[in-house]
Amino acid sequence: MLAQLLFVIVLIEWLVFAPGLLVRLAAIDPGATSEALAAADGPYAFVGLTSSRAGIWLPPVWFLGVYEVIWGFDPEAFRGLAVAGLLALVVTLTIATLAYRAVFRRVVRHALETPPDVARPAGLVLRAASRVASATILRHPVEQGIVAFAARSLTRSRRHRLLVAAYVGVGLAFVVGSFLSPITGVAEHALRESLSRPSARLLSVPLVLSFFVLVALRVLFAIPTQIRANRVFVMTEIDDKAAYLNGSRKAMWLLGALPIAGVTFPVYAAWWGPAAALQHTAFWLLMSGCLTELLLCGFHKMPFACSYVPGKANVKYLWPVYALALTAYAWWTARLELWLLADPVRWGIACALLIACLTAGIALRRRRLASSTPLTYEEEVEEAVQVLGVMRT
C-alpha cells in the first residue's frame, strides 16, 4: 500500500510541476549568452538551451533528439540527445526484463498457493482505542459489529487497500502541491512561512485529507469484500434500523477522520500550542461529521456487504461538482476558519452552527428512516429494455 501511495503522489506532482521545471532548467543555461539566443531561431535555440543542463536530466528532450534524427533534420545537432535517448531505452528495457524474470515465479507461486489474508492480532494501542470507543461512542452491539467488520474488511482486502491508497495519494499530492509553486518548482515564500501561527495553507491540510479519505470510504462501502458475508447480517437483522445506519456513519468517521486527527493534532500542538490545535481539530472534525452525513445520505446498505453494480456514479458528468465541493470544503473553509480563530466568539458561533447542522441532519435521517424500506443487501440492476407498462384490454 505504501508503494502505491508514493507512486500516486510522485506521478501527480510530476505531471503538475514538470512543465515549470523544464522552463526553469532551460531558462538558466549558463552556456548560452543573450547574443547567441537572439541570433538563434527554431530548434537550434532549443538545442542550445537544453544541451548543457535540461537535456541531461529530461527524458522528453532525449526522445526529441531521437525523432529529429529519424526524421533527418540536422542529425549532427541532435546526435547527443538521440544517443542519450536510445541508451536510456535499452537500459530501461533491460532492467524491466530482469525485474519481471526475477519476480515472475514468486508472484505466480503466491497467486496460486497463498491463502487469503489473515488478520493479525491487534496491538496494544489498537486494543486500548477499541475499548475506549466501545465504552464511549460505540455502545450499541450492532454499531460495534459494523465498525469491526468495516475495519477488518479494509485491512484484509488488497483491492480496497489499493483504492484507499489511490485516494489518499491524491489528497497528499494536493497537500504537497499547495506548498510548491507550479512555476519555479520550489515555493520559497511557502517554505519561509512561519509555522508558529495558523495560516490558510496549514489549516487546509486535514480538511483536504479528510475529504479524500471520507469520499474513498463512501465509494468503498458500496464495493463488497465477500458478498457471502451479508448472510450473517440478514439472519441477525433486528428491527432497529437506526443502529445499522449509525454504525455505518461512525465507521466512516472513526476510520477516516479520527486517524487524521491523531496525526495532525500533535503537530499543530507543537507549532501553535494545545489551545489553538484543539480549536482547529474540533472545527474540522465537526466539518467532517457534516460531510459524513452528506455522503451517506440515502445510503441504506451494509458496508462492504452489498452487491455492487458499477456505472451508477456518473463521475464523468459530476466531476465539476466534486471539484467545487473540494474547493469549498477545504480551501474556502480554511480561509473562513482563519478569520474565525481571530475571535473566540466567532469561532464558538461557527461551531454551534455546525453542531446544529449535524443534529438537524441526524434528526432528518431518523425521520426518513421511520417510513423507509428495509436495508438493502442486493443491488437492483436496471433492465436493458425499459417498457412503458401499458397493457391493452
Q: Are 87 and 133 part of one and the same domain?
A: no
Whether 232 is covered by a domain: the verdict is yes
Q: Are 269 and 327 part of one and the same domain?
A: yes
Whether 56 is covered by a domain: the verdict is yes
Distance CA 246, CA 236 (A): 17
Q: Is the pLDDT of residue 388 over 70?
A: no
Q: Is the pLDDT of residue 393 over 90?
A: no
Q: Are 144 and 205 part of one and the same domain?
A: yes
Q: Please give the angle made by the CA atoms of 11, 15 and 16, to the nearest 5 degrees.
A: 120
pLDDT in tens, 229-247: 777 777 777 777 788 888 8
Q: Are 97 and 137 part of one and the same domain?
A: no
Reported as a pLDDT band with limits 50, 70 and 90, residue 355 is: very high
Q: Are 147 and 73 part of one and the same domain?
A: no
Whether 268 is covered by a domain: the verdict is yes
What pLDDT is stored for residue 389 in this prediction? Answer: 60
Q: Are 135 and 68 part of one and the same domain?
A: no
Whether 165 is covered by a domain: the verdict is no
Instruction: Output the pTM of the full model.
Output: 0.74
Q: What is the DSSP letter of 256?
A: I
What are the two backbone dihedrals, phi and then psi, of residue 376, each rounded to the nearest 5 degrees?
Answer: -95, 130
Whether 1 is covered by a domain: the verdict is no
Calculate mean pLDDT across residues 329-339.
92
Count how many domains the chain has.
2
Q: Are 74 and 151 part of one and the same domain?
A: no
Whether 309 is covered by a domain: the verdict is yes
Whether 379 is covered by a domain: the verdict is no
What pLDDT is stored for residue 162 in this prediction? Answer: 86
pLDDT in tens, 103-143: 787 777 766 655 555 555 556 777 777 787 777 888 888 88
Q: Is 204 helix (H, G, I), strand (E, B) or coil?
A: helix
Distance CA 291, CA 276 (A): 23
Contacts of 350-356 with CB under 8 Å at 24 or more apart are 350/283, 351/282, 351/283, 351/286, 354/283, 354/286, 354/287, 354/289, 354/290, 355/286
Q: Are 240 and 142 in contact (CB under 8 A)?
A: yes
Q: Are 304 and 229 in contact (CB under 8 A)?
A: yes
Q: Which domain holds residue 202?
A: 128-156+194-369
Q: Are 101 and 136 part of one and the same domain?
A: no
Q: Are 74 and 150 part of one and the same domain?
A: no
Q: Are 107 and 208 part of one and the same domain?
A: no
Q: Are 103 and 206 part of one and the same domain?
A: no
What pLDDT is stored for residue 299 in this prediction? Answer: 81
Reported as a pLDDT band with limits 50, 70 and 90, residue 375 is: confident
Calculate mean pLDDT across residues 57-71.
79
Cα→Cα distances 371→238, 364, 366, Å = 16, 12, 9
Q: Are 133 and 45 part of one and the same domain?
A: no
What pLDDT is stored for residue 41 in this prediction? Answer: 47
